[in-house]
Chains A and B, each alone.
Chain A
Amino acid sequence: QQQVKQSPQSLIVQKGGISIINCAYENTAFDYFPWYQQFPGKGPALLIAIRPDVSEKKEGRFTISFNKSAKQFSLHIMDSQPGDSATYFCAATHSGTYKYIFGTGTRLKVLA
């Protein structure tokens, strides 16, 4: 019940296209869902996060869509650029613990 399932494992998108990464969780106590971006040789960097009281959050080209009833959330990268090529991790936590459960990661490659 603690798992966060992430898909796809890898994704190739043309420059200017939309990249979509999906995550699903089981624990209904989770109430904070961040996405992290990791470049090779670097630590994960917080990209965007959402709480379950909203269905969508947008920051620039990055949007999180959240479906509470389905226990799913997704990251959409609009107008994908080669510089977006990285590994993306979703995560979930309960605000009482601050203990993140990470998805397995999606390796995104954006072709120039």
Chain B
Amino acid sequence: DAGVIQSPRHEVTEMGQEVTLRCKPISGHNSLFWYRQTMMRGLELLIYFNNNVPIDDSGMPEDRFSAKMPNASFSTLKIQPSEPRDSAVYFCASSTGLEQYFGPGTRLTVT
């Protein structure tokens, strides 16, 4: 069975541009999580969905960040406009309960 799929794996963009990160959770999983990982702040939960509904978005840093989950098999995290401080690795994880399974991540570089 395929794990969590994320795309793109790497993204380089210029400051001010819109960035969209994509995630396909494991089939049958009803919870989806977006994390950001940096050296300074470690792994931070940005937002999580349960049954496609956003449950907790308290970790979303600012209004420039938005996330959607239009159906059970797809989610997006959008940054508009992007800034250099958004450079990080963004992970998506999914679960059916307590065990979360992470995707390979998207390394975002904003110049």
A44 to B50, CA, bound (A): 21
Q: Does B102 lie within 8 Å of A44, measured CB to CB?
A: yes
Does A46 lie within 8 Å of B42, measured CB to CB? no
Binary per-residue interface labels of chain B (24-35) against chain A in the complex, 1 for a CB within 8 Å, 0 otherwise: 000000010100
Residue in contact with B42 in the complex, picked from A43, A45, A49, A102, CB distance below 8 Å: A102
Q: Do A99 and B45 have beta carbons less than 8 Å apart?
A: yes
Give the chain A neighbours of B43 by CB distance below 8 A: 44, 89, 102, 105
User: Chain B residue with minimal CB distance to A97?
Assistant: B56
Question: In the complex the two chains form, is B98's CB within 8 Å of A49's CB?
Answer: yes
| Pair A34/B91 contact, Cβ less than 8 Å | no
Using CB atoms, name the residue of chain B closest to A44: B102
Query: Measured between alpha carbons, how far is A103 from B22 in the docked complex, in Å?
Result: 26
For this complex, into which size category does the number of interface residues on chain A fall?
A: 20 to 34
| Chain B residues whose C-beta falls within 8 Å of the C-beta of A36 in the assembled complex | 102
CA A55 to CA B54, docked complex, whole Å: 35
> Does A46 contact B101, Cβ atoms closer than 8 Å?
yes
Asked if A43 and B91 make an inter-chain contact with CB atoms under 8 angstroms apart, the answer reads yes
* 22 contacting pairs across A/B (C-beta < 8 A): A34-B98, A34-B99, A34-B100, A41-B104, A42-B105, A43-B4, A43-B93, A43-B104, A43-B105, A44-B43, A46-B99, A46-B101, A49-B99, A98-B31, A98-B48, A98-B50, A98-B95, A98-B98, A99-B48, A99-B56, A105-B42, A105-B43
Residues of chain B at the chain A interface (Cβ within 8 Å): 4, 31, 33, 42-43, 45, 48, 50, 56, 91, 93, 95, 97-105
